[in-house]
């Protein structure tokens, strides 16, 4: 059974391992229950397919599952709370009944967050960092659910890119703390691809250490993003190598979680990177 709401320090991840920041990089598998995902992997309301992907990701070594019902691709049409609940809740209930990993619900609406926690989500992932609906923080605090706060904005205008993002994330964390979410239950995400140009995305990846200095666990999501396609000239289904490179570089800069579509491949990238960067070794390792 999937874990329900808990503080981060109470969670266990792949194969029942207790969560411990810095030991290794944790992998979050993306499950889009939308008909219009930017990555072309949206499963809509196909519960058997959703459950199959969740079980496959668990078998491939994912530590978390991130389930979202509203597309965040550029130009996507916002959906109502009712439609989001209609898509999200059956998927969460199905996954929570069969999968033993913590589930993150990707939503920026407090009403959806509350229902998601009731349906089995252990974490809330707010892609607007509490700017769209600050009450999401209260929903998380009331349930004791950890909160992922992503930087996002509608323009690509910055005075100082990383300093501006750092300040925005710090303000989001302060809103969460005032609502009752403890520091140890907050994760920050710089929001690669959200309100940023390709050059800005690359600059963020080169300066992640400055965001790590904020003192919170850092989640990085570069998987299949358009910046990779632009650099390599590759379509969506040929971006795993580019994703792998950005993941390895993010780990070297201190990323704690990577959010990805290609779990099996990226778990391997993480383990090899962790062996160098963090001194991680597999069970049974002989020196």
> Which residues does the annotation mark as catalytic?
225, 259
C-alpha to C-alpha distances, 141 to 62, 108, 147, 184, 254, nearest whole angstrom: 26, 15, 9, 12, 27
Q: Name which of 247, 260, 245, 264 is nearest 39 in CA terms.
A: 260
Per the CB < 8 A criterion, the answer to whether 146 and 140 are in contact is: yes
Q: Are strands 257-260 and 123-126 parallel, antiparallel or unpaired?
A: unpaired
What is the spatial distance between Cα 192 and Cα 197, in angstroms, rounded to a whole number?
9
Contacts of 265 by beta carbon, 8 Å cutoff, 6+ apart: 240, 244
Helix spans in 33-80 (H): 47-59
Asked whether 91 and 63 are in contact (CB, 8 A), the reply is no
245 vs 60: CA distance, rounded Å: 20
Residues 262, 280: Cα–Cα separation, whole Å? 22
Q: Which structure tokens are listed for 15?
A: 């194969």
CA distance 52 to 42: 13
CB 287 within 8 A of CB 33: no
């Amino acid at each position: 059974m999937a874990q329900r709401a808990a503080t981060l320090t109470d969670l266990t991840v792949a194969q029942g391992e207790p969560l411990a920041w810095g030991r290794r990089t944790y992998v979050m598998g993306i499950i889009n229950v939308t008909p219009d995902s930017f990555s072309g992997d949206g499963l809509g309301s196909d519960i058997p397919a959703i459950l199959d992907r969740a079980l496959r990701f668990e078998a491939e070594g994912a530590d978390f599952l991130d389930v979202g019902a509203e597309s965040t691709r550029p130009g996507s049409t916002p959906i109502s709370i009712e439609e989001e609940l209609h898509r999200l809740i059956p998927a969460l209930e199905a996954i929570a009944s069969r999968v033993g990993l913590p589930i993150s619900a990707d939503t920026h609406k407090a009403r959806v967050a509350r229902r998601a926690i009731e349906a089995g989500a252990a974490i809330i992932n707010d892609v607007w960092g509490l700017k769209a609906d600050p009450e999401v923080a209260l929903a998380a605090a009331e349930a004791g659910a950890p909160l992922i706060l992503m930087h996002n904005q509608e323009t690509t205008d910055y005075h100082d890119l990383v300093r501006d993002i750092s300040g925005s994330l710090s303000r989001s964390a302060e809103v969460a703390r005032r609502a009752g979410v403890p520091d140890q239950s907050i994760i920050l995400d710089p929001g690669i691809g959200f309100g940023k140009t390709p050059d800005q995305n690359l600059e963020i990846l080169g300066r992640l250490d400055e965001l790590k200095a904020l003192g919170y666990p850092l989640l990085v999501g570069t998987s299949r993003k358009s910046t990779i396609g632009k650099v390599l000239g590759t379509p969506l289904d040929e971006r795993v190598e580019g994703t792998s490179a950005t993941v390895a570089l993010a780990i070297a800069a201190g990323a704690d979680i990577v959010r990805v579509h290609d779990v099996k491949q990226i778990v391997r990238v993480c383990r090899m990177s962790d062996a160098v960067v963090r001194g991680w070794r597999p069970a049974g390792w002989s020196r």
